[in-house]
Amino acid sequence: MRPSILSRPPSTLRAVDVLSPRSLEAALLLKAERPDAVPIQGGTDVMVELNFDRGRPPTLLNLNEVEELRGWSRENGTVWLGAGLTYTEAMEPPLSELLPALAEASRTVGGPQIRNRGTIGGNLGTASPAGDAIPPLLVGDAQVKLVSLRGERVVPLHEFIVGPKRNAMSDDELIAGVHVKPVSGRETFMKIGPRNAMVISVVSLALRVDGDVHAAFGSAGPVPTLVRASTDDVHTLPERVADAASPIDDVRGTAEYRRHALRVLTKRALERCLA
């Protein structure tokens, strides 16, 4: 991380417009008109950026009053998660039984206040390598639904996230939500942090055994990454997960530790899900 104190780009003081549409249609109209408007849902990433003075968007597009983005439902054998679904909601049954790894991941996010405000859509919008919702969604073969006045398109999650903090969304688009396959076998999520709560992950892993084995890790490369295996070659999976990672040394941990931990986590996750 670069020390940031007082090496910021100069900017001048100006007011921020906040637009609060009450329907998805209105939101899309506004987004088409003001493509530089930054969507804000829980604000747990956006407000941090603002407070740290890392960016000053001319306009915020407040999505909190857009009912269509909220909640979750079952749709033709998949689970639909609205972009505005909070971590607290993801931790509650029956959703937590359909997507247990997402529930476990949600439990690791921040503290109660952050879990009450922070959303799945916001986590995808930020597209951080450390985004904790992403590995569980990857193992659930999540399909991201993007909407705009031009229509809608569905992008597989691993294609949606294109780089560290970069996603495939266009300026006029919003994330409506994701379709995820509910688990039929078992799955789990684990996250390592330097303390026992409220941490950005040093490394994380989601693993689903559902016929095949799907593992996805976070914080060990530029993007959360999915690794697949058949149940016959699970013994090589810990090594393959570690090999797929391209971790770095940073203030939170060393690359060597991250690779080591991925091996241990994968081994333990397999034991949990195959037992």
Partner 1 sequence: MSAPAREVVLGRIGEVSRRSDAVPKVTGEFAYSSDLHAAGMLWGHTVRSPQAHARIVGIDTSRALTMPGVHAVLTHDDVPGEKLYGLEFRDQPVLAIDRVRYFGEPVALVAAEHPEQARRAAEQVRVEYELLEPIVDPERATEQAPLHPDRPTMGRGYRDDERPNVVRSLVIRHGDPDARGDVSVSGVYDVGIQDQAFLGPESGLAVPDGEGGVDVYVATQWLHVDRDQGAPCLGVAPGQVRIRLAGVGGAFGGREDLSMQIHGSMLALHTNRPVKIVYSREESFVGHIHRHPARILSEHRATREGRLVCVRVRVLLDGGAYASSSTAVTSNAASFACGPYKVDNALVESLCVYTNNPPCGAMRGFGAVQSCFAHEAQMDKLAAALDIDPVELRLLNALESGDVMPTGQVIAGKLPVAEVIRRCAALTPPEPEELPRDPLRLPGGSGNTTRGEGVRRGVGFAVGFKNIGYSEGFDDYTAARVRLHRTADGELSAEVHCAAAEVGQGVANVILQTARTELETEDVVLAAATTSAVGSAGSASASRMTWMAAGAVQLACRDALAEHRRTGSDVDLERTYRHPRTTPLDPETGQVTGERAHVAYACAAMRVVAEVDVELGLTRVVWIGTVQDVGRAVNPSAVEGQIEGGTAQGLGLALMEEIQTRDGLITNASFTDYLIPTTLDMPPVASELVEDAEPDAPYGVKGVGEPPTVVSTAAVVSALRAATGRELARVPVRPDDIVGL
Ligand X SMILES: Cc1cc2nc3c(=O)[nH]c(=O)nc-3n(C[C@H](O)[C@H](O)[C@H](O)COP(=O)(O)OP(=O)(O)OC[C@H]3O[C@@H](n4cnc5c(N)ncnc54)[C@H](O)[C@@H]3O)c2cc1C
What residue ranges bind ligand X (CB under 6 A)?
38-46, 48, 63, 69, 83, 108-110, 114, 117-119, 121-123, 125-126, 131-132, 174-175
Only segment of 8-16, 64-72, 153-161, 211-219 that touches partner 1 (CB under 8 A):
8-16
Q: Which amino acid is at 6?
A: L
CA distance 243 to 225: 11
Out of 168, 200, 244, 248, point to the residue binding partner 1 (CB under 8 A). 200
Q: Which residues contact 241 (CB under 8 A, 6 or more apart)?
A: 205, 215, 217, 227, 262, 263, 266
β-sheet bridge partners, residue 19: 61
| Beta-carbon count within 10 A of 112 CB | 10
The yes or no reply on residue 15 touching partner 1 (CB under 8 A) is no
Per-residue string for binding with partner 1, 230-249, x by CB under 8 A? --------------------
**94: preceding bond cis by omega (within 30 degrees):** yes
Out of 34, 165, 186, 268, point to the residue binding partner 1 (CB under 8 A). 268
Closest contact distance (angstroms) between CB of 182 and ligand X is 21
78 or 123: CB nearest ligand X: 123
CA distance 210 to 111: 31
Token output for 269: 């996750």
- In a 10 Å sphere around its CB, with 0-12 CB exposed, 13-18 middle and 19+ buried, how is residue 272 labelled? middle
Backbone angles phi, psi at 145, to 5 degrees: -100, 115
38 or 255: CB nearest ligand X: 38
Only segment of 28-36, 70-78, 140-148, 262-270 that touches partner 1 (CB under 8 A):
262-270
132 or 173: CB nearest partner 1: 132
Decide which of partner 1, ligand X, none touches 140; Cβ closer than 5 to 8 Å per partner kind. none
Decide which of ligand X, partner 1, none touches 165; Cβ closer than 5 to 8 Å per partner kind. none
The yes or no reply on residue 76 touching partner 1 (CB under 8 A) is no
Out of 170, 184, 230, 254, point to the residue binding partner 1 (CB under 8 A). 254
Out of 62, 108, 167, 219, point to the residue binding partner 1 (CB under 8 A). 108
Is the dihedral angle over the CA atoms 185, 242, 228, 103 positive or is it negative?
A: positive
Is the dihedral angle over the CA atoms 89, 91, 92, 95 positive or is it negative?
A: positive
CA distance 231 to 244: 18
Closest contact distance (angstroms) between CB of 109 and ligand X is 4
β-sheet bridge partners, residue 89: none
Residues lying near partner 1 in the complex (CB under 8 A) are found at: 1-8, 10-13, 52-53, 104, 107-108, 188-202, 204, 251-254, 256-257, 260-261, 264-265, 268, 271-272
